[in-house]
Amino acid sequence: MSSIGTGATGADAETRTASTKALRGLDALNFFLADVRDGLGPYLAIYLIAVRGPDQGWNEATTGLVMTVAGILGLVAQTPAGAFIDATNHKRAVVIGGAIAVTASCLVLPFISNFYLVAATQSVAHIAGAIFPPALAAITLGLVGPKMFAKRIGRNEGFNHAGNAVSAAVAGGLAYFFGPIVVFWLMGILAACSIGAMLMVPADAIDDDLARGMTREEEAPQEKPSGLATLLQNKALLLFAVLCAIFHLSNAAMLTSVGQLLTHLSGKDHATSLIAICIVAAQCVMVPVAIFVGAKADVIGRKPIFLAAFGVLALRGVLYTLSDNPFWLVGVQLLDGIGAGIFGALFPIVVSDLTRGGGRFNTAQGAVATAQGIGASLSATLAGVIIVSAGYSTAFLALAAIAALGFVLYLTLMPETRDSVSAGNEPETGGTLPPVVPANA
């Protein structure tokens, strides 16, 4: 693809094409950053319990408390992180700084054991990690413009899921020979590769006005991003945030619950292997799904595809109840690759649709991500209470019912955001959407 001159704005910026080098850098960034952005993730508990253990004061309770504190702080940081990405013109430096902060916070763990120091380092990792989703979406929008955004986001998600699958497989294989410490080596290598990939994207190739959702009409020097209060006045955006919370309220606990059930059925050792297979296989399914969504979102529309995600999620919950066979449960879990693959690719596209022209694209991403994080946080508690009181089948059916509710609400209330919506029109939600650049313009 050809490269345009630096500083392109206005009409040229909306039809811009990025250089091949920049796009390859973006591919590599999504691939290598996939594992860095989540820090140690599930490996944190394994390291603290298996390596440190009770002798150093670490058990399931203390480890869980660290993860809860860090998770809450990361959740609170989502919206400010998005606002920061909207405000800064140094997005490459922010990504590099975030990668260094997350990696350093994890690499220091072998040298500390104090509860408060561990909690502090993991809190830093979660807060810094909140930068990556809005930053990657902003850089993508600033590179390719709104017309190619949907297709490019699908490609981003494909490389992200591929990176997760490869790093999980490599970590699992090397850990067999070298133990849990190998995760730290892998994080350092991936962080260095992420920084190199970010430097492949020229700073002047990113249009900062487009990156925060401004269209050419709002790029005049006297225009400024809309106030944060306008996000609360966008009823469709608020509805979408609620729907994202519902999706994760249903989805987040399913893998956890399956893991617990497999532990009872197959024992701890076999369950660990089966869950690892679930994760890697689901990530592999997400790759073609995300690419398909990016390629077809402008053709099919956002709404039908998002409805498919809710439908597959509801079906998955029901299918879990049909058999206790471990291989059946693992097979059903593969459907997570479809539902989560669709959600990950469509989420920034719909937010971009709903905030076009206001200059608060990344702030809105952070706000909606906070809502979905709340849903995910409540999911495990809800499922756990139901499992204890009524069993696994009832829990899976309850989670499926929540997904079905989300399907109905999206079908009846959420507008098709792909379509051009003029200012002042009243969509199905009863609110006013900002102007949207038509997908086929």
In a domain, 214, yes or no: no
Residue (of 359, 440, 341, 297) closest to 141 by Cα position = 359
* pLDDT attached to residue 182: 76
**SS3 at position 418:** coil
Same domain (yes/no): 204, 247: no
379 three-class SS: helix
Domain of residue 148, residue span? 12-209
Q: For residue 68, what pLDDT is reported?
A: 76
Task: Report pTM.
Answer: 0.73
Mean pLDDT, residues 362-376: 85
Is 251 part of a structural domain of the chain?
yes
Q: Are both 63 and 204 inside the same structural domain? A: yes
Residue 45 has a pLDDT of 66
Last residue of a domain, one of 209, 237, 267: 209
Measured between alpha carbons, how far is residue 386 from residues 153, 245, 325, 333, 399 in Å? 37, 19, 21, 20, 10
Residue 78 has pLDDT above 80, yes or no: yes
Instruction: State mean pLDDT over 28-54.
Output: 75
313 in the same domain as 235:
yes
Q: Where residue 37 sits, what CATH number does that domain have?
A: 1.20.1250.20
Residue 19 domain-assigned (yes or no)? yes
Question: Burial, 82: exposed, middle or buried (Cβ in 10 Å; 0-12, 13-18, 19+)?
Answer: buried
| Rg of the chain on CA atoms, in Å | 21
3-state helix, strand, coil in the chain (%, to 5): 75, 0, 25
**Do 304 and 397 reside in the same domain of the chain?**
yes
Neighbours of 125 (CB within 10 A): 27
69-83, 265-279, 378-392: segment of lowest average pLDDT: 265-279
Our separate counts of H helices and E strands in the chain read 19, 0
Q: Which of 52-66, 96-110, 153-167, 382-396 has the lowest mean pLDDT?
A: 52-66
Residue at 441 is within a domain: no
CA gap 36, 195 in Å, rounded: 11
Residue 275, pLDDT score: 65
> What is the SS3 assignment for 22?
helix
278 and 164 in a single domain? The answer is: no
- pLDDT of the residue at 215: 59
Structure tokens at 53: 């253990």
Kindly state the average pLDDT of the residues 6-22. 57
User: So what's the pLDDT on residue 7?
Assistant: 42
Q: What is the pLDDT of residue 93?
A: 94
- Please tell me the distance from the alpha carbon of residue 399 to that of residue 80, in angstroms, as a whole number: 31
The whole-number pLDDT of residue 304 equals 94
159, 175, 209: which is the final residue of a domain? 209
Q: Please tell me which residue, 100 or 183, carries the higher pLDDT value.
A: 100
100, 128: one domain:
yes
Measured over all CA atoms, what is the biggest interatomic distance in the chain, rounded to whole angstroms? 65
Q: Do 178 and 273 fall into the same domain?
A: no
Are 306 and 383 found together in one domain? Answer: yes
What type of residue sits at position 327? F
pLDDT at 286 over 90: no
Count Cα neighbours of 340 within 13 Å in the Cβ-side half-sphere.
25
Residue at 368 is within a domain = yes
Asked if pLDDT for residue 435 goes beyond 90, the answer is no
Looking at residue 437, what is its pLDDT? 37
- What is the full DSSP assignment across 154-184? HHHHHHHHHHHHHHHHHHHHHHHHH-TTHHH
- 420 and 278 part of one domain: yes
Tell me if 222 is assigned to some domain.
no
Same domain, 74 and 180: yes
38 phi, psi to nearest 5 deg = -100, 5
- Please tell me the predicted confidence (pLDDT) of residue 199: 93
Residue 305 in domain: yes
Q: What is the domain count for the chain?
A: 2
Tokens of 51: 């390596």
Q: Which of 160, 179, 209 is the last residue of a domain?
A: 209
Residues 316, 374 within the same domain? yes
What average pLDDT is seen over the chain?
79
The pLDDT confidence band at residue 6, using thresholds 50, 70 and 90, is very low
394 within some domain: yes
Looking at residues 417-424, what average pLDDT do you find? Answer: 52
**Residues above pLDDT 70, as percent of the chain:** 79
Do 56 and 94 lie in one domain? The reply is yes
